[in-house]
């Protein structure tokens, strides 16, 4: 029988992971091949040009533009301090002097003897890329970034919000179906990544924000709470850049959903370990998933070139349903019929048969599931 392919969702206690850490434009790589790095180490940086500020210098001095050079106290390329004298006139008999000072800290970029205008530029804006994960630099892309490899426990979520963060995992639940009371989030969880159970409510998020929690891992979240949190409907946009004070990774789906037992067991096993998480999500072409990465101790000999894997639908394999009804539920494939079946839209599609964790048996289009890779 031909193999069937589907998007994969990985949950594993041990995998070799490779991450590209690339600058948005060319700059400087700060590490070399073979270096061991920690999650918060800088690996590359570049600088964006600062904002240009035009200044009518000749008008302020009361001179004609062609005479500007003889009154200048600084030259193009000079670094400026706010309030520093840019130009001044001698006046007449020591009187009627004019002085122009820099309104910004930055650099004098140019002076025009035709328009009498000076262009000042605000300080360069640094763009820094951190390693994000503990690991070893296996390749350097000149002036662009690096590739880092490590051994990790690894979980892909189904949806997320927020930037890359690092912190210690703390379990606030004792069962995959638990829902916590916001009151249990105290100051002791500042800078931690907390695991909150079957449903993350807006009240829990607000309490975590107020305490200074770095990240939240949850099984489910209500779409309406996301809208209230952000102030807008997220639609099909790419997430992961929201400034909400913390990062959220949803492992199962929307609404109240028990956390998959395998995911719960993994997080419980690695409680108190440092983890790296991000909320970047893109569901359309070029799928991007939020990730939970827990670095493990490794021997350099264990690391090898990562060979891309194609997820396959196989009898006995674990899947997650990604369409309603039964969105977010986990099951095991029991059958892969070859023939095409007609669905409600009158379209003929390939289907699969599966048994869900609660014992319910379902038949659904293969496009409505993703493989959970071990």
Which distant-in-sequence residues (6+ apart) come within 8 Å of 88 by Cβ? 61, 71, 73, 97, 98, 99, 100
| pLDDT one-digit tens code per residue, 118-134 | 999 999 899 999 999 99
Number of domains in the chain: 3
| Same domain flag for 113 and 218 | no
The residue out of 255, 289, 323 marking a domain boundary is: 289
| Same domain flag for 285 and 353 | no
The residue out of 97, 121, 145 marking a domain boundary is: 121
The H-or-E segment that residue 50 falls in is none
| Same domain flag for 284 and 332 | no
- Residue 87 structural domain: 52-121
- Domain-embedded: residue 188: yes
Predicted pLDDT at 308: 47
- Domain-embedded: residue 91: yes
The residue out of 289, 323, 342 marking a domain boundary is: 289
Q: Is the per-residue pLDDT at 5 higher than 70?
A: no
Which distant-in-sequence residues (6+ apart) come within 8 Å of 175 by Cβ? 197, 264
Alpha helices in the chain (DSSP H): 57-61, 202-211, 223-230, 261-269
- Domain-embedded: residue 131: no
| pLDDT one-digit tens code per residue, 179-219 | 999 999 999 999 999 999 899 999 999 999 999 999 999 99
CATH of the domain at 319: 2.30.30.30
- Domain-embedded: residue 38: no
Cα angle, residue 276 at apex, residues 271 and 281 outer, rounded to 5°: 120
pTM of the model as a whole: 0.75
Phi (first) and psi of residue 63, to 5 degrees? -130, 165
- Domain-embedded: residue 334: yes
- Domain-embedded: residue 179: yes
Prior bond of 325 cis (ω within 30°):
yes
| Same domain flag for 71 and 184 | no
| pLDDT one-digit tens code per residue, 41-64 | 999 999 988 999 999 999 999 899
CATH of the domain at 283: 3.50.30
């Amino acid at each position: 029988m031909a193999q069937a392919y589907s998007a994969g969702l990985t949950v594993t206690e041990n995998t070799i992971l490779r991450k590209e850490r690339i600058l948005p434009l060319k700059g400087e790589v700060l590490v070399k091949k073979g270096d061991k790095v920690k999650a918060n180490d800088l690996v590359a940086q570049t600088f964006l040009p600062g904002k240009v500020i035009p200044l009518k210098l000749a008008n302020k001095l009361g001179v004609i533009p062609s005479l500007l050079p003889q009154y200048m106290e600084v030259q193009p390329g000079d670094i400026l301090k706010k309030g520093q004298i840019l130009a001044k006139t001698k006046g007449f008999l020591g009187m009627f002097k004019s002085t122009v000072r820099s309104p910004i800290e930055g650099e004098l970029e140019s002076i025009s003897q035709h328009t009498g205008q000076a262009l000042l530029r605000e300080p360069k804006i640094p763009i820094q890329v951190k390693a994000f994960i503990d690991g070893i630099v296996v390749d350097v892309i000149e002036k662009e970034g690096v590739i880092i490899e490590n051994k990790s426990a690894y979980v892909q979520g189904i949806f997320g919000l927020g930037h890359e963060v690092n912190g210690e995992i703390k379990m606030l639940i004792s069962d995959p179906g638990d829902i916590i009371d916001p009151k249990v989030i105290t100051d002791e969880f500042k800078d931690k990544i907390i695991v909150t159970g079957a449903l993350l409510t807006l009240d829990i998020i607000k309490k975590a924000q107020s305490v200074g929690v770095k990240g939240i891992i949850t099984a489910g979240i209500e779409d309406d709470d996301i809208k209230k949190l952000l102030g807008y409907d997220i639609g099909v946009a790419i997430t992961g850049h929201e400034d909400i004070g913390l990062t959220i990774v949803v492992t199962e789906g929307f609404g109240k959903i028990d956390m998959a037992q395998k995911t719960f067991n993994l997080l419980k096993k690695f409680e108190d370990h440092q983890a790296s998480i991000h909320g970047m999500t893109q569901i359309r072409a070029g799928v991007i998933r939020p990730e939970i990465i827990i670095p493990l101790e490794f021997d350099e000999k264990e690391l090898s070139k990562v060979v891309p894997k194609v997820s396959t639908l196989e009898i006995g394999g674990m899947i997650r349903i990604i369409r309603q009804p039964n969105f977010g539920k986990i099951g095991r494939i029991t059958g892969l019929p070859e023939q095409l079946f007609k669905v409600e839209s009158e379209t003929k599609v390939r289907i699969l048969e599966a048994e869900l964790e609660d014992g319910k048996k379902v038949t659904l289009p293969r496009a409505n599931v993703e493989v959970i890779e071990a």
